[in-house]
Amino acid sequence: MVVFLGNEFNLSANENYKLAVETAVNAAEKSDFKIFLIGGVVRDLILENKIKDIDIAVEGNAVDFSVILERDYNCKIINIQEKLKTAKVQFSNGSIIDFASTREEKYINSGVLPQGYNFGCSLENDVKRRDFTINTLALKLTGDNKFSLIDYCGGYQDILNKKIRILHDKSFIDDPSRIIRALKFKVRFNFELEQNTENLMKEYLNNINDKMPLERIKNELHQYFNIKKENLYDLIISTKAYKLISDKPILNFKEERLFSLKEFDLFNENEIWFIYITALIVNSDYAIKRLNITSSERKVITEVRELLNKDAKVKDNFQIYKMFNKLNNLSIASYYVISGNPAVIKFLKALKDIEVLITGDDLKEIGFIPSPYFNKLFESILKEKLNGKLNSKEEEINFVKKFLKKD
């Protein structure tokens, strides 16, 4: 189906993108390449959402096309991926566009990356390798009927009906990360899964192929947990999508606890996703072993594990301080969201910033001889301070002097 949208397109008021696309169109027409806006950008144009990035499909070789852009149109190739024949190009006004050669994908072993490609295929065959109908739309940029919408899979109607629909019954088997993508689009756009898509998702989750690499799943979860909406974790649990990465997710994760931590400034917005991931995998050796986690991510997981193994009963201030003082903020936050232990709030509100003011030099000046005993003194001062006493350096000095007399 071809829907003519008119001879203008509004890239959500982004003039820079518009100029870059016009340059690309000009270049393509002069060099006989057929190019199309493709995938998420077309979906977002129809939904009138802000455009995050622009993908252009080149019917032919996108790398060859990018070389022309760089040579004749004042553009800069930022990155080329020979394997997928894609090119990232920066235009003279700074905007960046991803160009991809049309391609078909061959899945020989399901669940892992495609094992073969046919590049330069027709646009129709290119869109048929994609995940959901809403992502298969193309906007023709060259030749006749410019700016018409090309819709081979019924994506336009699905966008209007707010439906997420896979293109063929083996889609999730070919690429299980699409399960998380489906949930991402569901939450982000407030769409529903079409019935057959939902059934096939359930069927897949009941018969997981556990040989699939988890990198794509982790990337998709990263994007999913970055959506600023509520009940993200609950949906991963209730749909059983957690089974893609973990056999033992935490079940009493409370999102409202996460939101309540905002006032303490423990983490950046862009770290929140890992708090969710921690709750999914912290109890699952299977997940930790298979998921490619960085050393700082591993540190958080380990610290949260240790906290969860400790006795959670509210302790005295000194014990609470010792429990959290040396830990990563993200570990403390994850532990609180998972456990709800009120000791965390006590630590953050009243204890975290308490520190001993006197130094070893002060102790020497008072008359103590340097020894491991200094640490005991510091600890005694700290205990007092955590209980609301010794509110100045002077009071600390007077406090330790008592020990000097006893010596």
Residues lying near ligand CTP in the complex (CB under 6 A) are found at 39-40, 52, 55, 130-131, 135, 175, 177-178, 181, 223
Chain Cα centroid distance, residue 121? 32
C-beta of 51 vs 366, nearer to ligand CTP: 51
C-beta of 39 vs 60, nearer to ligand CTP: 39
Sign of CA dihedral 258, 259, 265, 271: positive
C-beta of 174 vs 396, nearer to ligand CTP: 174
Range 128-131, long-range pairs (CB < 8 A, 24+ positions):
128/104, 128/152, 128/153, 128/167, 129/103, 129/104, 129/105, 130/39, 130/167, 131/166, 131/167, 131/171, 131/175, 131/178, 131/181, 131/182
User: What's the token pair of residue 406?
Assistant: 């006893």
C-beta of 125 vs 380, nearer to ligand CTP: 125
The residues with which 106 forms a beta bridge, in sequence order, are 116
Least distance to ligand CTP, CB of residue 230, Å: 19
Q: Which of 140, 110, 125 lies closest to 42, judged by CA?
A: 140
C-beta of 101 vs 341, nearer to ligand CTP: 101
Least distance to ligand CTP, CB of residue 178, Å: 5
C-beta of 114 vs 340, nearer to ligand CTP: 114
Least distance to ligand CTP, CB of residue 17, Å: 14
Least distance to ligand CTP, CB of residue 58, Å: 15
Residue nearest to ligand CTP according to CB distances in the complex: 40
Cα-based angle 124, 127, 130 (whole degrees, multiple of 5): 155
Q: 3-state class of 81 per DSSP?
A: strand
User: What's the token pair of residue 89?
Assistant: 């190009």
The residues with which 86 forms a beta bridge, in sequence order, are 81, 100
Least distance to ligand CTP, CB of residue 293, Å: 21
What is the spatial distance between Cα 273 and Cα 36, in angstroms, rounded to a whole number?
A: 33
Least distance to ligand CTP, CB of residue 123, Å: 13
8 A C-beta contact, residue 355 and residue 379: no
C-beta of 178 vs 385, nearer to ligand CTP: 178
C-beta of 141 vs 301, nearer to ligand CTP: 141
Unique residue bearing structure tokens 């089974």? 243
Least distance to ligand CTP, CB of residue 53, Å: 6
Least distance to ligand CTP, CB of residue 212, Å: 12
Least distance to ligand CTP, CB of residue 164, Å: 12
Least distance to ligand CTP, CB of residue 223, Å: 6
C-beta of 55 vs 384, nearer to ligand CTP: 55
Helix runs in 240-340, H state only? 255-260, 272-281, 285-290, 295-309, 317-324, 329-339
What is the spatial distance between Cα 99 and Cα 406, in angstroms, rounded to a whole number?
A: 78
Chain Cα centroid distance, residue 40? 17
8 A C-beta contact, residue 233 and residue 268: no
Q: Would you mind telling me the total number of residues written for the chain in this entry?
A: 407
Q: How far is CA 49 from CA 182, 185, 227, in A?
A: 18, 13, 14
C-beta of 135 vs 334, nearer to ligand CTP: 135
Least distance to ligand CTP, CB of residue 49, Å: 9
Burial of 245 (0-12, 13-18, 19+ CB in 10 A): buried
Sign of CA dihedral 222, 224, 228, 229: negative
C-beta of 90 vs 135, nearer to ligand CTP: 135
